[in-house]
Structure 1
Amino acid sequence: MTTIHTLNDAGDEARATLIFLHGLNGDAIRTWGFSTSGSQTWSDWIIKTEPKLTILSVGYRVRSSRWSGGSMSIFDRSHNILEYINSKKIAKAPIIFVCHSYGGLILKQIIRICCENEKYSYFRERLKAVIFLATPHQGSGIANFHSGLKLVTRSSHAIEELKSNAPYLEDLNRWYRETAEISETNIEVFAESLETSGVLVVNSFSSDPGIRGVRPIKIDCTHEEMARPKFEDDIRVSRLAAIIAKVTSKVDFVSSCSDENAMQFSLSRYDESRKKILLSTRKILEALKVGAPLDERPAWDFETLSSFSRSGKEVFEENLLRFNHLLIEYAAIPRGIGQAVERRRFLQETGMVGSCELIIATLSEDLI
């Protein structure tokens, strides 16, 4: 049975709706570490950054074995969940999904249904961001193992669909990749790096959806731990908070455009921010050109940049996010003469110098 747990209800004042989708053998509460005992989890930490946020966690039956209940097909479960969410009559605000493992496949099929059925066009238009946590876009070797033992385990429909390079998953991921690259959806991808019982449940290849400009971030955790950040400053929490700020700031800007004075104030604030960002980005470029270690990263005010959207700025913002991820990796290369070669190799493979020059050129356009 599908259930929707409301962790926070902002009602009609909600500036965004955040929806959690768990994975195989998961649970709407336990998977995410949501607690009723008073201890804080990442839902509490996110509320601190944006109080006017409705948070929902969807629970549904998806078991690896028919002994424990089995599962529907991905298509049937996606349609089922979509109808349940539709019945909630959530506020007319941007929608953001956080998906663990199999939950990411469910969401991709939900999006496909919405694109092919005008009944759900509102959902497609309001979906603004997705965070994939160890989602097996190309399937999982664990599923192949379970399938081989189906006489013993009575593998469910979900296990059959999760086999590595299964035709259904290949078709779904190809469709989603092509759709995502022309949409304005903000996408973050996280991958596990620690084994579970000696194996990676979802390897690096499968966790990567293959979307241009989206680079998976590896986390020091197992497959199950991926859904349960332990600390408020965890990168999964901070990136979700940044996406929420970006999405809600656009809503604020659209609302403010009805007031000409407010709009002029926003443009002025945007240009002042750009000038500051230009100075720090030029310093970064000087270091990159000689392959020097980084002492700082640009003080990029993503919220301000996101609040002003002219032609081409959506692509620019995605380039900023990608370049920011690359800077984190570059800055992590140890100092020392022996590491200079590694830094130069990284710069050549990623094209960071050219990306930095393009960012500077774009930021310099029409500055007053």
Structure 2
Amino acid sequence: MTVEEEFNGVCIIKTASGVGSVAVEIDLSTPIPQLTTKTLKTRETSPKTATLFVNNKPVSCDNRTTQKVELDCNGKSYNIISSNPYLPNSDCLIHLIPPQGRKGTIYFKFKYFDIERHYACKFDYVEIIDDRGQSFKFCEDPIVGNKGNISLRMKPYSHEVDINKTYFISMKNSFKLIFKSDRYTQKTGFHLTTTLSCLPKTLPVRQVLCNWDNHDINIHCDMGDLRIISPISKTKNMEVEFEFLSFNLQRNTGMSYHVLTFSQNFRYIKYSGKANKVGSETNRISIFEGQYLKPPKLGTTYYINETGDLNINYFEGTDMGGSSFEMIARAKCIS
């Protein structure tokens, strides 16, 4: 059985009994064009000044027109697609803006990528500039690696796009997305999706004022730094107790670990790994007497009763997920 010719979505197939026509079902839900090096005809529906579309809305890319995209915290995806082919001398600038007062992690994934390549991005390129001013450019031929997520700051190839990877990076303020093309070769273009995952509405710094009541503070991985400030008082001191309900942090070799750090004055301790030992509920030991880069014992009460600000920090040194912990901090006053 061989295909003789094709037109209007119908294939004419030669069979042993003669010639018959078979309708071909075409899925157009995610159009991924064939990569080609020759210039293609512009879509008739594309405005002459539009090279990019954000969720099907055209973005004018002449004279450096600025487009603002206000992200939300509800997991909405934004599709940024170039016209096919993209136009020459494009100079597109899109501001990606998080909701006011919110921060989180922004994700980028290319569904396809085909622009004029150059190892130093001298011709056409897509550029992401984060809120620190760091630039990430894409301009080389795409590769197909293993599926997974990778930090934008740790991508192994400087200007290549891995179609199977989802890039992520922390976001506090607006990002810039830039697309530029020169006057010469125009190719198929690209399709980029982006989504913002917001952190919970919690203050990065928590102050616990000392009174005669106990304070229970739930600590989780997304809350950032917890700072417990001791009171300015000559008659009262504050003691903080910690109880770990679960503890499972990634622990590899070298700097590849997730770690929970306690620091006060000039003392500090780092906990990492998986807690599989349960201590006695009657045990009370100083938080600084634990084993360095080892997990704490579940069911054991750790405490701090010294003066000075106490800082707690959670850090992930790898892109691997699967880490979690839960603990209770109780601040109480002692005479």
TM-score by length of 1: 0.27
Answer with 1 or 2: which has the greater Rg. 2
Between structures 1 and 2, the one with greater strand share: 2
Answer 1 or 2: which has greater helix percent. 1
- Could you tell me the TM-score, scaled by structure 2's length? 0.29
